[in-house]
Amino acid sequence: MKIAFFDAKPYDIPGFEKCGKEQGIEFKFFESMLNEDTVALANGADGVCVFVNDTVNAAVIDKLYDMGVKIVALRCAGYNNVDLEHAFGKIHVVHVPVYSAYAVAEHAMAMLLTSIRRIHKAYIRTRDFNFSLNGLTGFDLHGKTIGIVGAGKIGRVMIDICRGFGMKVLAYDKFPSGNDIQFVELDELFAKSDIISLHCPLTQDTHHLINEKTIAQMKKGVVILNTSRGALIDAEALLEGIKARHIGAACLDVYEEESDVFFNDFSGHILNDDTLARLISMPNVIVTSHQAFLTNEALENIAEITADNLLEFFDSGKCKNELCYHCGNVEKCKKSRSGKCF
């Protein structure tokens, strides 16, 4: 089995090489992201392995199909970068639904604590032997209300963490389940939360979930966390909310236009994205470059589950982690995984 591996980073390769040797999969690693200009690199491969910023649109799918590629293996949970409707009937798509909910939720809490307790500013000061506390006053999390948007596996881990801090939790989910969580509508969540943390997938319904209108519903001084997908937030509206002193702080591990910026070193260059540059320049904004997933445990799980997905697909003719456009419920196939999606 030959798999063309796009957007390969040094931390990806060891785990996938190990799994490849153990499972008889030949991964060919490319630093380039998959798009219409690089898709020819997949010629001769049985499948492609892609990440969050690879482009798997209709044009790429058609070229992969013409080359005989049978499967797109996402090494992530999200699939908003794949045209599943166009892939149906041509190429099968699988993903890694869970790799480490703890990694992402813990990173969200780390960003929150760093922001509200000014840890990043204190670190920079003390490196210069400046031990003044002026401007470093934060606030307690205990007793505050956090709104969790998306109560899936990651959202529920975040809920447990927040409860450990003595916080009141409100949650919104399109398909709420469980009696131990207080589910509310989004309007109520926006109005009552001191902190809002996004853990939902990016869909047509959630695109720009945080926008000028919804920001106006929020408390003055609200803190917004996003470790899910960048396009959940209208970055321009977020920036205006910060400038108006309505948003107290923002912690962003993802950004709507991140594909040309994140995972790359631009430290010696001028950043062309003015919106991102202005956000980073704000004293109450923390940006990390899609780092929340990056733990040893998560990387091992991603490699193992991706390899298992490929083996299951080619050996048994089905895969429990296939994304099925035909069913309408993409992640929960109505065929009960009794066969391939098509």
Segment 250-291, tens digit of pLDDT = 999 999 999 889 998 999 999 999 999 999 999 999 999 999
Taken in order 151, 153, 156, 162, the sign of the CA dihedral is: negative
pLDDT of 326 above 80: no
- Per the annotation, the verdict on 229 as an active-site residue is yes
Neighbour-count burial for 133-155, b at 16+ CB within 10 Å, e otherwise: eeeeeeeebeebbbbbbbbbbbb
CB neighbour burial string for 87-105, b if at least 16 within 10 angstroms, e if fewer: bbebbbbbbbeebbbbbbb
Domains identified in the chain and CATH numbers: 2-99+296-316 (3.40.50.720), 101-287 (3.40.50.720)
pLDDT in tens, 190-207: 999 999 999 999 999 999
Q: Cα 210 to chain center, whole Å?
A: 16
Band the pLDDT of 332: cuts 50, 70, 90.
Answer: low
Whole-number pLDDT of residue 338: 60
Contact 184, 172 (CB under 8 A): yes
Please name the residues in contact with 100: beta carbons below 8 A apart, sequence gap of 6 or more: 293, 295, 297, 298, 301
Q: DSSP letter at 322?
A: B
pLDDT at 328 over 70: no
The answer for residues whose C-beta is within 8 angstroms of residue 231's C-beta and 6 or more apart is 80, 202, 207, 208, 256
Indicate if 290 belongs to the active site: yes
Find the catalytic residue in 92, 107, 199, 229.
229
pLDDT of residue 50: 98
Distance of alpha carbon 320 from alpha carbon 332, whole angstroms: 9
Tokens of 59: 């044009």
Q: Is the pLDDT of residue 335 over 70?
A: no
Helix (H, G, I), strand (E, B) or coil at 9: coil
Q: Active-site residue among 256, 258, 304, 322?
A: 258
Alpha-carbon distance of 227 to 106, in angstroms, equals 10
Predicted local confidence at residue 337, as pLDDT: 54
Summarised one tens digit per residue, pLDDT across range 118-136 is 999 999 999 999 999 999 9
**In the predicted structure, residue 334 carries a pLDDT above the cut 70:** no
Residue 8 has pLDDT above 90, yes or no: yes
Sign of the torsion angle spanned by Cα atoms 231, 237, 239, 245: negative
CB 179 within 8 A of CB 171: no
In the set 75, 156, 290, 322, the catalytic residue is 290
| Per-residue pLDDT, 341 | 76
User: Which amino acid, residue 50?
Assistant: V
- The CA distances from residue 277 to 20, 144, 260, 291, in Å, are 40, 31, 14, 18
Q: What is the DSSP string of 78-140?
A: --TTB-HHHHTTT-EEE--S-S-HHHHHHHHHHHHHHHHTTHHHHHHHHHTT----TT-----
